Amino acid sequence: MSILLRNIKIITPSEVLIGYEVLVKQGKITKIDLQENMQNIEFDEIIDGKGQYLSPGFIDIHNHGNSGYDFMDSTIEAIDSIGKYHLQNGVTSYLGTVLTQSYENIVEAVKNIANYENKENSSQILGIHLEGPFFSHSKKGAQPDKFIRDPDIIFIKELIKISDNKLKMVSIAPEKDGALELIRYLKEKNVAVSMAHSNATYEEAMNGINNGATISTHLYNGMRSFNHREPGIVGASLTDDRVCCELICDRIHLHDAAIKLALKAKGTDKAVLVSDAMRAAGLKDGEFELGGQKVMVINGEARLSDGSLAGSTLNLNKAVYNMVKFLNVPIHEAVKMASLSPARAIGVHVNKGSIEVGKDADMLLLDDNVNVSCVIKGGNVIFKK
């Protein structure tokens, strides 16, 4: 099956190309060239973009669920539903996030994701993001306190085996006893390590980075605040070029100025848009559950009874829109933060994250308001308005 996409504005990591067309064959992008050079190309189907943007599919490396489901439900139905919602909102691939829970519940959730067979009409699950349980009690946020533990290499070895090497990212507090040893081990296994729910000082955070941590989970949230005499984990993350930073751009978790500061420090190459969405995403306000805790969603804000934020109701399509609309970020840079930057963060950028010859044909058609009108995944048109 081959598809020619024409009358499009192609979003690349560095610019928007006009007057070019894209050829897709057998699930891959095989040719990108000027319209006049594509006249004699053979294809099975043509898609007229009607002047819309052609964007790479979004990649969400941190999300807990949506549509009333959570990865901790540990069911095929949950992943099916989560993936369909993702696809309709432009996320063509993602990591399923497993949060702090009992070891038994974590194992069950990991097994469920590892055994899941991706479906054509659903976003592709690339692997597992383990968010916990190796965190600081004082910065737990919405992570259940009673299940927080010290780093445990034996357990991680078991999870890597159970996951069939689909464990792609682990969030950890670098100041915990045994954390540095665990970070080194995960680096050896090519598992991305992120610093999260941490009260680390600047020195402790730098120890984590020097031992292999390369991501800062939902920057500013769930970590020691920046201070001019003790910059903490925020200061380490913003000033070290080895670290990329997750940003929840729902305009609830972060003030616009905090995002602008992060972009000035990191640039869009090292800024990663994530949703951190929980099961309420895509649904009306009401009472929900996260990690066994009651969550109230009011006006789209998800909070525990103590007022702590408990994930979000965001999707990456909205996050990109917010970056363009409210922070005046050029669309190609906003899209990069939701595609190539997360792909690089977890090491899948060889095949995903940008519209380049040889990469997977995971692409979107977006209008001027970043609404998704068409989703192509693996070279197949899956969703079209």
* Binding-site entries for Zn(2+): 131, 197, 218
DSSP letter string over 223-245? BPPP-SS--HHHHHHHH-TT-EE
Burial of 286 by CB count in 10 Å (0-12 exposed, 13-18 middle, 19+ buried)? Answer: exposed
Q: Are strands 45-48 and 2-6 parallel, antiparallel or unpaired?
A: parallel
Helix axes 256-266, 232-239, angle to 10 degrees: 50
Annotate 273-294 with three-state secondary structure. ECCCECCCCCCCCEEEEECCEE
276 is catalytic: yes
Alpha carbons 378 and 382: distance in angstroms, whole number: 9
Say which residue the tokens 């009306």 belong to.
Answer: 284
Contact 296, 261 (CB under 8 A): no
Grouping H, G, I as helix, E, B as strand and the rest as coil, residue 125 is: strand
Which residue ranges make up the annotated binding site?
Answer: 131, 142, 197, 218, 221-222, 229, 253, 309-311
Q: How far is CA 294 from the centre of its chain?
A: 24
Q: Among residues 276, 362, 367, 368, which one is catalytic?
A: 276
- 355, 22 in Cβ contact below 8 A? yes
CB 343 within 8 A of CB 93: no
- Close Cβ partners of 37 (under 8 Å, ≥ 6 residues apart): none
The binding site for substrate comprises 142, 221-222, 229, 253, 309-311
Which residues are the active-site residues? 276
